[in-house]
């Protein structure tokens, strides 16, 4: 089955044996009647499993070419479940240019539980190799990175992780399985904030994990059930529905993202545009190798690097909404220095490129002429 068919049919065989509904029915039930004590029809209590959730979990697994999919109450709950595979004393090597919430979970929760983190610029495998020792249990990769849009070579890191028997996990939220399939590139775990492109309509918070390894899946199912951070059936339905148009939405996100990156690059007020589709982007070759397109996320900085000018630009936008998050049908604009990266000291964040005038756009699927006109108006004094 090709990807564009999988978004609609992947893992969805016989989803409603009772009546043949075409969409997964929303089983809004916390418990299921047993045939006799201890004998059920496949579902007993909805924390352990719910048919609407199963339909979604199979769909996401199919998109990532994985055997097992698991859904969680949020992207962070999915990451939390992965880190519960570790024990005190274990070490993790993580991408340094990281989603703020992931950093908060690592630094504010798991560090206190005895897990040691090394935040590393993963542009070369050498920079990672330096931190590997016999306590290293997991490499955490986010690519494209947020908000600087650097690309990390998943395949070459997977060779390193396999050689040292370390798990490799990839946060695939920005790219989606439409653009990039980490398991195919050698990762052991792929994680999503389904809140973003998978759901695609900014109406639900959800996370997922996909793996191929049987014993890893067994352990994660146990954690999902034992810790209980599961999504409700209505939310599972919404993400199932979102996924059915993932390929169409991503095509338009990529087209619009490209047009906006090119427009911004020519604008006299723009200092730099961060988008991996540019041939002179430092990681363009890796992006071309591991991604099918360059996505709808674009960041840029302004000449003069004025905080006030960035603020006034953001306030003048009409179609782009000033908001956190990304990956929905609507275009959003964000100011990393005061929003997602606000808690990082100015000197620290500027080292990684998050300057006062940096603006991050999640380019939606509206008409491109309207989007460019909106930016044009916001640049005017």
Which residues would be at the binding site for ligand PLP (CB under 6 A)? 74-76, 99, 101-102, 142, 146, 171, 173-174, 193, 195-196, 205, 207
* Half-sphere exposure (Cβ direction) of 27: Cα atoms closer than 13 Å: 23
- Taking the least distance from each CB to ligand PLP, the nearer of 293 and 328 is 328
* Half-sphere exposure (Cβ direction) of 131: Cα atoms closer than 13 Å: 24
- Taking the least distance from each CB to ligand PLP, the nearer of 136 and 208 is 208
Cβ contact 151:172 at 8 Å: no
274 among known catalytic residues:
no
CB of 55 to ligand PLP, least distance (A): 20
- Taking the least distance from each CB to ligand PLP, the nearer of 82 and 270 is 82
Cβ contact 154:184 at 8 Å: no
58 among known catalytic residues:
no
CB of 348 to ligand PLP, least distance (A): 19
CB of 285 to ligand PLP, least distance (A): 23
- Taking the least distance from each CB to ligand PLP, the nearer of 89 and 342 is 342
**Measured between alpha carbons, how far is 214 from 237 in angstroms, rounded to an integer?**
26
Which of 6, 53, 58, 196 is catalytic? The answer is 196
Cβ contact 203:238 at 8 Å: yes
CB atoms inside a 10 Å sphere around CB 279: 7
Which of 80, 97, 153, 171 is catalytic? The answer is 171
Closest CA to 101 of 136, 71, 70, 77: 77
33 among known catalytic residues:
no
**Total number of residues shown for the chain:** 381
CB atoms inside a 10 Å sphere around CB 289: 13
47 among known catalytic residues:
yes
CB of 79 to ligand PLP, least distance (A): 7
Which of 47, 67, 265, 288 is catalytic? The answer is 47
**Measured between alpha carbons, how far is 266 from 257 in angstroms, rounded to an integer?**
15
Which of 27, 43, 68, 99 is catalytic? The answer is 99
Whose CB is nearest to ligand PLP?
75
CB of 340 to ligand PLP, least distance (A): 9
- Taking the least distance from each CB to ligand PLP, the nearer of 296 and 378 is 296
- Taking the least distance from each CB to ligand PLP, the nearer of 12 and 290 is 290
CB of 206 to ligand PLP, least distance (A): 6
Residue written as token pair 């430092």 = 282
User: For the residues of 185-219, what is the DSSP string, one character each?
Assistant: TT-SEEEEETTTTTT-SS----EEEEE--HHHHHH
Supply the residues annotated as catalytic.
47, 99, 171, 196
């Amino acid at each position: 089955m090709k990807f564009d068919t999988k978004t609609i049919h992947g893992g969805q065989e016989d989803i409603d044996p009772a009546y043949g509904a075409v969409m997964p029915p929303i089983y809004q039930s916390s418990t299921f009647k047993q045939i006799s004590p201890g004998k059920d029809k496949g579902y007993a209590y909805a924390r352990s499993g719910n048919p609407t959730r199963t339909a979604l979990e199979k769909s996401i697994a199919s998109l990532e070419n994985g055997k097992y999919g698991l859904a969680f109450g949020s992207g962070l709950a999915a990451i939390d479940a992965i880190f519960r595979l570790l024990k005190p004393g274990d070490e993790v090597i993580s991408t340094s240019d990281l989603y703020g919430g992931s950093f908060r979970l690592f630094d504010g929760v798991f560090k206190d539980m005895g897990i040691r983190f090394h935040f590393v610029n993963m542009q070369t495998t050498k920079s990672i190799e330096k931190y590997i020792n016999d306590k290293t249990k997991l490499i955490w990769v986010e690519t494209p990175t947020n908000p600087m849009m650097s690309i990390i070579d998943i395949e070459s890191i997977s060779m390193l992780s396999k050689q040292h028997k370390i798990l490799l996990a990839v946060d695939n939220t920005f790219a989606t399985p439409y653009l990039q399939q980490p398991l195919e590139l050698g990762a052991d775990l792929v994680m999503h904030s389904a809140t973003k492109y998978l759901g695609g309509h900014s109406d639900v918070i959800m996370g997922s994990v996909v793996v191929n390894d049987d014993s890893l899946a067994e352990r994660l199912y146990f954690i999902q059930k034992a810790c209980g951070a599961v999504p409700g059936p209505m939310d599972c339905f919404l993400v199932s529905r979102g996924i059915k148009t993932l390929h169409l939405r991503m095509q338009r996100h990529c087209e619009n993202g490209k047009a906006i990156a090119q427009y911004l690059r020519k604008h006299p007020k723009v200092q730099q545009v961060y988008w991996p589709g540019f041939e002179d982007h430092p990681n363009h070759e890796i992006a071309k190798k591991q991604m099918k397109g360059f996505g709808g996320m674009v960041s840029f900085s302004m000449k003069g690097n004025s905080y006030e000018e960035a603020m006034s630009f953001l306030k003048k936008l009409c179609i782009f909404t000033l908001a956190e998050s990304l990956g929905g049908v609507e275009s959003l604009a964000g100011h990393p220095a005061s929003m997602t990266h606000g808690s990082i000291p100015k000197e620290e964040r500027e080292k990684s490129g998050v300057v006062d005038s940096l603006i991050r756009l999640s380019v939606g699927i509206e008409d491109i002429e309207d989007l460019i006109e909106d930016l044009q108006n916001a640049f005017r004094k």
